[in-house]
Amino acid sequence: MKRYVYINDDEASQDLYCDNRLSNRKYTLLNFLPKNLWEQFSRFMNQYFLLIACLQLWSLITPVNPASTWGPLIFIFAVSASKEAWDDYNRYLSDKKANEKEVWIVKQGIKKHIQAQDIHVGNIVWLRENDEVPCDLVLIGTSDPQGVCYVETAALDGEIDLKTRATPATCMGIDFELLHKIKGVIECPCPDKDIRRFDANLRLFPPFIDNDVCPLTIKNTILQSCYLRNTEWACGVAVYTGNETKLGMSRGIPEPKLTAVDAMIDKLTGAIFVFQIVVVLVLGVAGNVWKDTEARKQWYVLYPNEGPWYELLVIPLRFELLCSIMIPISIKVSLDLVKSLYAKFIDWDIEMIDPETGTPSHATNTAISEDLGQVEYILTDKTGTLTENKMIFRRCCISGHFYGNEDGDALKDVGLLNAVSSGSPDVIQFLTVMAVCNTVIPTQSNTGDILYKAQSQDEEALVHAAAKLHMVFVNKNANIVEIRFNASALQYEVLEILEFTSDRKRMSVVVRDCQSGKIILLSKGADEAVLPYVHAGQQTRTFTEAVEQYSQLGLRTLCLAWRELREDEYAEWSLMFKEASSTLVDREWRIAEVCQRLEHDLEVLGVTAIEDRLQDGVPETIETLRKAGINFWMLTGDKQNTAVQIALSCNFISPEPKGQLLLIDGKTEDEVFRSLERVLLTMRITTSEPKDVAFVVDGWALEIALKHYRKTFTELAILSRTAICCRVTPSQKAQLVELLKSCDYRTLAIGDGGNDVRMIQQADIGVGISGREGLQAARAADYSIGKFRFLKRLILVHGRYSYNRTAFLSQYSFYKSLLICFIQIFFSFISGVSGTSLFNSVSLMAYNVFYTSIPVLVSVLDKDLTEGTVMHHPQILFYCQAGRLLNPSTFAGWFGRSLFHAIVVFVISIHAFAYEKSEMEEVSMVALSGCIWLQAFVVALETNSFTAVQHIAIWGNLAAFFVINWIFSAIPSSGMYTIMFRLCRQPSYWLTMLLIVGAGIGPIMALKYFRYTYRPSKINILQQAERMGGPILSLGTIEPQPRSLEKDISPLSITQPNSRSPVYEPLLSDSPKTRRSFGRGTPFDFLQSPSRLSSVYSRNCKDN
């Protein structure tokens, strides 16, 4: 589908396309209530509670006042609806501000001031310096004589460097006054969200130009939300407006991610629902049997001899209403609230603020913090994620001569400096390619210094290095590049730019030497994209050796080449290139095919080697997280040897003989299959040996493996703790994440650039680094951090605490609901199995929403271990990964506790106050008081670290219970008149409370004491060590010696499976099992990290 935009013609486009009114609102005043209710009732639990509330309106079956369910239901719905309304109102205010912004447009040759929302497709929009772009524009004029302007795209893609945009060639030279009257048509695709692509054509109508077609690319556009910088004015034609802009099309609500804890809660809810149905059926049958056999004999029951046809359903439905509170109505609101607090804790963590940039961590997704504590695989990018993305030119090889090998800095190499000063032709040509073959923009500072704006850090490093070697990129005026070499000035006319793509892996420019008139092709790119295309007479062995040598040092390599073109050859090729650039279908593929026709018979000039240093703390972070049982995969576009050396330097893999790296390669299906089989056989054998085994695969072999041998590769992925995937594309990164997720692993993907976005969005948890490549990855991620080293704290501290707290909160919510429900069930046995409620409606309504919610909400402050202990002993993360704190076994424990406590409360309350000793309302209040007292002590017993807030919440809530009930007892119409006053005056009431607490908490404390003393877990041991003090604190933080990239790293041989040594040191138990004393005569057994290769760490053994 195409769109035809008629320039400066209101009638042709106004009715066809939308105006520029932005609307990101989800609701309107008319549809808010029905739409919000529809969304809330689309959830099963809300449907269930609505059904229960509706059944309670049937007076024949309801055992309590309908308000006991309708009240909490309306409260919870109101809270959710209020949150949605507030968020939507803020979106409305943001839209209103953008829509009412004043802009200049041209109508009928006259400039007018209008609101941004009144812009239509085809209007000419005028921008001044620092103006925000109101819609997507095709540039047609600027204040620069060369038709260039500068834009800041940080709001669009997060990249902070200014980018250049240029007017199309057909608009060059049009007078300023004539821009008001310009007419033409733009043929472009329908709106899409690809901010890096715009394949269109422009035709201007006479008298400007005679219908000649001019191709348009993304470089001829200024997109919505960008800012015009360093340019006095610019004007463009609106092609996409309103929500049809590229930014508007990319907006949307991401798919919600379901955490492992949420999935487990859903399963437990389903199990409770089945249990509830069984109980209802059993009690319903028992109630009907008792009614027909016993109740009709009792004169006071007054059952009629004959009832309606639905009489048999009355008692079961009563029990359904009574037992409906088994599923806590407040659990979703409680979980949403505490998860929001978990996210705020991450935002507020001052220890996760990058000291260099001041960038804090940020949680974009507030619903998945507990999943951080269950991560099993981390898939990481390399450049900018593990490294600083600060490129430094280190070494080079020119015409077989190596420079920089002695001191690691080619810019100080005497041989290279002498070659430059003597004017060596090979060196001069090499430096010319470095200075000219790029898209760098030189600018001058206020002091006169030349500054370079580059979208690629590699290009900036090469241009800076060339400048230090006296080949200075001075200026760029339109297509003329000015170079200053020593005292002479050189000029090149840029004829064409063959841009870099991930498929071609090279970038070229066609230039004309203004001095000699010769046309030259300058190229740079990866070795596999350049060396195969050299002319027949050139030997490339030296350059191949240079690439291998530099890669072994972990340096990034580029090959530089050139060739001279004939005039007729270029003229013929230029026509094909223009035709390919003008097509609207498969333009990128057509351009790549045409570029291939020119980039051949190259003469290689040399190889550059650029260093990208590791970030601080990366080796320590990876080592710590590997001890926590987390597996690492590196997914990078770099060469294999470079990636391997970086992996060695950051503790990703171990050098020989402790580690073994297996290679998967091949160019055909058979070669890849044989390689996979060999590696898989070795992996199967090595699982019984304590050896750090990893595999490395390149993008070509990976493509074949995923397409034809997915099952085999999946088995290999499960067996390997570490993998290095080189030369991979963004889509392959996402495929690998999806592969691990299909094996039911919790994955975390971390990256810093736009090419990592798909991987980040595909993973269970996406983490973006706010780096030098911009904020695109950080904005697409669930969490953003300033440096890779903060990942350790994000997982071990925030992730683990969030999981522990959520596991307790969710199971406690079921416990308190089951407790009150079991008491209702027990009461039915002494009330003729009639479905009568022991508790009044007010008490039931307040029980879940107020009495028992506040103490547990402050569990978000609880810490079972101090942060220091958690960071020093990362192995304890295994309890979270294996789901040890929330699973059917632990839930069965809470289920049993609720049943036991219900028996205690019911038996003691009935024997103390029932059987004509008091009124039923008093028995009800005694039982309710016993529940509140028990739960206060349960929360206190399960709390590991007390703060003043927790004490106030627990004991203050207990006091508030009495205050509230004293108030209700003073109201005659409340149904509780004088009840609490009478009870509090009786010593037996207080003795009953003490007896309930003693009988209910005593056995729990005894079991805890037995477990802590005789069967302690590793966490219990660490807790005891913390309380006793001493050695845990005295261990301190062990700072490993920093590892140099070029020294202290033994080279890792890429071995085949048949070259294995039979004896290896134990590696997979990441920390040796040592014994330390933390008290007199008491041994302290440090933990060993569980491994995926160990049978202990199997998914079938995740029990308590």
CA 108, CA 123: separation in Å to the nearest integer?
A: 10
Torsion sign, CA atoms 104, 106, 109, 113: negative
Record the tokens describing residue 136, joined without a space. 């997507």
Give bridge partners of residue 506 from the DSSP assignment. 525
Q: Which residues pair with 152 in a beta bridge?
A: 227
Q: Which of 136, 144, 262, 381 is catalytic?
A: 381
Q: How far apart are CA 473 and CA 963, in angstroms?
A: 80
Strands 722-726 and 692-698: parallel
Distance CA 522, CA 430 (A): 10
Residues contacting 490, CB < 8 A, separation 6+? 432, 482, 483, 484, 513, 514, 515
> Looking only at Cα atoms, what is the longest distance across the chain?
122
Peptide bond connecting 207 to the previous residue in cis, omega within 30 degrees of 0: yes
Is 381 annotated as catalytic? yes
Q: How many whole angstroms separate alpha carbon 747 and alpha carbon 764? A: 5
The strand pairing partners of 107, in sequence order, are 110
**For residues 609 and 553, is the Cβ–Cβ distance under 8 A?**
yes
The rounded distance, in Å, linking the Cα atoms of 960 and 1073 is 51
Contact 402, 609 (CB under 8 A): no
Backbone Cα Rg of the chain: 36
**Are the beta carbons of 239 and 188 closer than 8 angstroms?**
yes
Strands 747-751 and 200-204: unpaired
Nearest of 740, 783, 792, 739 to residue 760 by alpha carbon: 783
List Cα–Cα distances, 673 to 281, 700, 732, in angstroms: 58, 13, 18
- 585 vs 240: CA distance, rounded Å: 19
Provide the pairing of β-strand 765-769 with 631-635. unpaired
The residues, any chain, with a CB within 8 Å of residue 790's CB and separated by 6 or more, are 352, 354, 361
CA dihedral 329, 331, 334, 335 (to 10 degrees): -150
Chain centroid offset of residue 87 CA: 22
**Is residue 1077 helix, strand or coil?**
strand
Quote the tokens at residue 774.
């911009």
Please state, in angstroms and rounded to a whole number, the distance separating the CA atoms of residues 276 and 282.
10
Catalytic residues: 381
